[in-house]
A and B are shown apart, each in its own frame.
Chain A
C-alpha cells in the first residue's frame, strides 16, 4: 500500500535514516518497544495519519467483504454445531445414559471439556489484563483477540455443567432467586461457588471486552451507513472522542484491569476446588488451586497463539501481529510450561511419597496402566515438546511450528483434565472400580463446542474489529510523545491537558477515525 511509504525524515530524527520508503506499519508499531534506543526516527503527524488510514482500511476492509470461502466456513462450522445440538437433544430425549458415564465414573467428557474451556478463557485475562497492568506495550494489537477469546470460551465452558446435568431442564434451580419451591441453593456446595464465579467472570469479561471496544465501535459507526450504522451507534453509547470521554475510558480500564485479574484467578481456583475439596482419592489436593490456574493460563496462552496464527493469516494482519509478538508469546509459553510441570510434579510426588494406596494405584494406572498412553502423550506434548523447541527463536517465529506446538499443548491440556476427571474409576472399594468409554453424543457435543468457538470468532471478525484500533494508534502516538519528552517514559496513558500536541493527538485519533 502506497500510504505506508510516507517519508519518515523529520527534524528531530536522524536525516541519514530518511529513505523514500519510510517506516512500515510493522516497524512503526514496534518502534515504541525500542523506546530509548534512538535508531528509528520519531513519526511525524502525517506518518501517523497515514498509518491510521492504512490500519482502518485493512481492518474494516476485512470486515466489509464476505467471500464464498467465508460463507462455506460458516456453513461448515454451523452444521457441526447443529449436529452437536442434535446430540444434546437426543441425550435429553433418551436420558443421560446415552453417555458412557457410569458408577463410579459419574463425570467424564463434559466436565473435562468444562475445565478445558474455562482454562482457555484465561488467555484473554492474562494477555490483556496482566500485560496492561505491567504496561507491556506489545500487547496492544493482541488485546481484542484475547478478550474476545475469553468471552467465547466462557460462554461455551459455561454450557457444559448444564449439558452434564441429569435433568438439564432444571438447571435454573441452582440460581439463587426466590422461587415456588421456597428453597435457597446450598452455598456450601463448591458447584454453587462455581456457578457464581463463572457468572461473575462472564459479566466482567463482557465488560472488559466492551469497554475498549467503544472507541472502535464509534469509528465503525462513522464508516458505515444504514442499519449497521444504527447498531454501531447504539453500541458505542454516543462516543464522540471528547477529552472527558477518553479520560473516563482510561480510568475505567485501569480499574477494570486490576479487578479482573483476581476474578480470573479465583474462577479457576474454584473450578479446581470442585475436585480438590472432595474426599475423592486422586482429587483431594491442596495444590489443585494454583495448579489449575497455571494450567488454565498454559492452555489459554497456547489457544491464543493458535488463534493469532490463524487470524493473522486469514485477515492478512502480518504487519500488526508480528513475528516479534510470537517470539514473546513463545517465551511466555515456555515459562508457563515449566511452571505447570513444577506444579504437576509437586502434586504427583506428594501422592507418590505419601503412600495412600488408592492415590498410588491411580498413579500406577497413569504411568503403566490403562491410561498410560494418554498420560505419556500429555507428558510429551505438555512438557517435552515446549521445553525442547521453544528455546529457539527460529521456532518461536515460525508460524507452522508455533501452530503445531500450541495445538499440541492444548491436546495435552485436554488429556490432563480428562485424566483428572475420570480418575475416580479407581476408588477406595476395589469392588466398585470401573472404566469409562465416551459415547457418540459426548464426542459430538465436545466437537461441536470447538466448532462453536470457531464460529463465534469467525462471526465476530466480520462484526467488530479484531484489532484494538485506538490502542494501536495510541501506541504510535505515545511513542512519539515519549521521544519528544511530552510524556513520562513509563506511562501508557496520554496526559490530560498538558502539552497541546499530546491533547490534540489523543483526541485526534478518535475524532479523525470518526470523521473520515
Chain B
C-alpha cells in the first residue's frame, strides 16, 4: 500500500469506511478518551512548529503496516499473530487469549484490543458485514488490509482463470479515500501503480529504524504532486 501524504486531507473517511467494512465495535466517547478507540486506521494529526494559522497540520494515516518482519509475531505465545503465505500479517481471533504482548511490541501501536465485548448501537447492528467475524471480548484485532476483499478477488480471478488486474483489489479505506491518497496493489509487480509510486524519491517507511520492513510506503509531503 502507498499513502501519499501530499494528497491526504485528513478527512477520516477511511476510518469510517473501515469501521463499516470490518465490523469494528463502537466504544463511545468515554472509552475513546481513555485511549480505547478501536480504529484499525487512524489519522494522526501533527502540527508544524508555530501557532495556528501559520502552522499547518500534517495528517498521517496509520494502519497496520503488515511488516515483513513483524515484531508482533514472535512474541505471541499462542500463534494468534502469524504470517500468511501471501505475506499478510494476520491475527487469528480464535487463538488469541489476550496477553497484549503483540500490541506492546508493535512500534506503530496499530493493534487495538477488545476491552469489552464490541457494541453496535442501533441501527449499526443492521449493517454488519457478513464476510467479517465479529470479535469477542478480550482479544486483539487490527487492520487486515481487508483480507476478505483480497480473497474474494483472488477467487473470482481463479474461477475466471485470469491474473488479478492492477487496482482490482481495493480495501475499504482505499475505495473510500476522496482524494485518492491511498493506493493498494501488488508491490512484486514492477508495472503496478503501487510499485511506481513506491519508487518515488519521496517514499519512506514509518519508523524505519526498527527494521520491521513494513509493506506500507508513505510519500513525504512536499506541497505538490510528484511521482
Q: Does B125 contact A (CB under 8 A)?
A: no
Q: Closest approach, in angstroms, between the C-beta of A413 and any C-beta of chain B? A: 22
* A274→B112 CA distance, assembly (Å): 20
Q: Which residues 70-112 in A have Cβ within 8 Å of B in the complex?
A: 94-97, 99-107
A-chain residues with CB within 8 Å of residue B112 when the two chains form the complex: 103
Check B74 against A188 for contact (C-beta < 8 Å). yes
Which residue on B lies nearest to A104, using beta carbons? B109
Q: Which of chain B's residues 71-124 have a Cβ closer than 8 Å to chain A?
A: 71, 74-79, 95-101, 103-105, 107-109, 111-117
Question: With a CB–CB cut-off of 8 A, which chain B residues contact A280?
Answer: 104-105
Contact indicator A170/B46 (Cβ below 8 Å): no
Question: Is A104 a contact partner of B35 (Cβ separation < 8 A)?
Answer: yes
Nearest Cβ in chain B — how far from A55, in angstroms?
48
- Find A279's partner among B37, B71, B138, B139 (CB 8 Å cutoff): B71
A224 within 8 A of partner (CB): no
Q: Identify the closest chain A residue to B94 (Cβ).
A: A181
Contact yes or no, B44 A429, CB < 8 A? yes
The number of A-B residue pairs with CB atoms under 8 Å apart is: 140
> Which residue on B lies nearest to A99, using beta carbons?
B115
Instruction: Give CA–CA (A427, B106) in the complex, Å.
Output: 10
* Residues 154-168 of A contacting B (Cβ, < 8 Å): 161, 164-168
Q: Which of B34, B45, B137 contacts A166 (CB 8 A)?
A: B137
Bound complex: CA A102 to CA B109 (Å): 11
Contact B109 A95 (CB under 8 A): no
- CB under 8 Å from chain B, chain A span 310-342: none
Select the stretch in A129-137, A190-198, A199-207, A237-245 that faces chain B.
Answer: A190-198
Closest-CB distance, A283 to chain B (whole angstroms): 8
Question: What string of 1s and 0s marks CB contacts (under 8 Å) between B119-134 and chain A?
Answer: 0000000000000000
Q: Does B165 contact A (CB under 8 A)?
A: no
In the assembled complex, how far is the CB of residue B94 from the closest CB belonging to chain A, in whole angstroms? 8
Tally B residues with Cβ within 8 Å of A.
46
Separation of A430 and B140 alpha carbons in the complex (Å): 22
Least Cβ–Cβ distance between A96 and chain B, in angstroms: 6
Chain A contact patch, size range: 35 or more
> A392 at the A/B interface (Cβ < 8 Å)?
no
Residue of B31, B35, B137, B139 touching A434 (CB-CB under 8 A) = B35
Closest B-chain residue to A195, C-beta based? B77
Query: Would you call A279 and B116 a contact (CB within 8 A)?
Result: no
**A-chain residues with CB within 8 Å of residue B114 when the two chains form the complex:** 95, 166
Q: A96-B115, A103-B35, A434-B35 are in contact. Are A429 and B109 (CB under 8 A)?
A: yes
Q: How far is the CA of A101 from the CA of B114 in the complex (A)?
A: 11
Cβ–Cβ contact A97 & B116, under 8 A:
yes
Task: Identify which of A94, A103, A279 contacts B107 (C-beta below 8 A).
Answer: A279
Structural contact, A191 and B101, CB atoms closer than 8 A:
yes
Nearest chain A CB to B137 CB, angstrom units: 4
Main secondary structure of the interface of A (DSSP, over half): loop
Chain A residues within 8 Å of B103, by CB? 103-104, 106
Task: Give the docked Cα–Cα distance between A280 and B72 (Å).
Answer: 11
How far does the alpha carbon of A288 sit from the alpha carbon of B53 in the complex, in Å?
46
Give A355 Cβ to nearest chain B Cβ, in Å: 13
A186 partner residues in chain B, CB cutoff 8 A:
74, 76-79
Q: Which residues from A are CB-within-8-Å of B104?
A: 104, 106-107, 278, 280, 283, 424
Q: Is the CB of B138 within 8 A of A185?
A: no
Q: With a CB–CB cut-off of 8 A, which chain B residues contact A105?
A: 35
B157 within 8 A of A: no
Cα of A99 to Cα of B31 in the assembled complex, Å: 12
**Contacts A188-B74, A428-B107 known; A107 to B96 CB distance under 8 Å?**
no
Kindly provide the distance from the CB of B68 to the nearest chain A CB, expressed in whole angstroms. Answer: 15
Contacting A95 at CB < 8 Å: which of B46, B60, B108, B116?
Answer: B116
B199 sits at the interface (CB 8 A) = no
Interface status of B36 (Cβ within 8 A of chain A): yes
* Interface: A65 (CB within 8 A): no
* Cβ 8 A contact of A189, one of B101, B108, B117, B212: B101
Interface string of B189-214 (1 = CB under 8 A from A): 00000000000000000010010100
Find B44's partner among A170, A192, A431 (CB 8 Å cutoff).
A431
Q: Within B48-83, which residues are at the interface with A (CB < 8 Å)?
A: 60, 62, 71, 74-79
Roughly how many angstroms separate A105 CA and B115 CA in the complex, as a whole number? 12
CA distance A431 to B10 in the complex (A): 14
B residues within 8 A CB of A432? 44, 109
- Closest chain-A Cβ to B39's Cβ sits at a distance in Å of 10
Contact call A191/B77, Cβ cutoff below 8 A: yes
**Cα(A195)–Cα(B95), bound, Å:** 18
Using Cβ atoms and an 8 Å threshold, which residues of chain A touch B210?
A: 279, 428
Listed A/B pairs (16) with beta-carbon separation below 8 Å: A95-B115, A96-B115, A97-B36, A103-B35, A106-B100, A106-B113, A166-B100, A166-B113, A167-B137, A173-B78, A173-B97, A174-B97, A188-B74, A278-B75, A278-B104, A279-B212
Given contacts A97-B116, A166-B97, A274-B101, 18 further A-B contacts (CB under 8 A): A99-B115, A103-B109, A103-B112, A107-B104, A166-B99, A166-B139, A167-B97, A167-B139, A173-B97, A174-B77, A174-B78, A189-B74, A195-B77, A279-B212, A427-B109, A431-B62, A432-B44, A434-B35
Which residues of B approach A to under 8 Å, CB–CB?
31, 34-37, 42, 44-46, 60, 62, 71, 74-79, 95-101, 103-105, 107-109, 111-117, 136-140, 207, 210, 212
Counting from the closest, the 6 A-B pairs by CB-CB distance are A166-B98, A166-B138, A97-B115, A102-B35, A431-B44, A106-B100
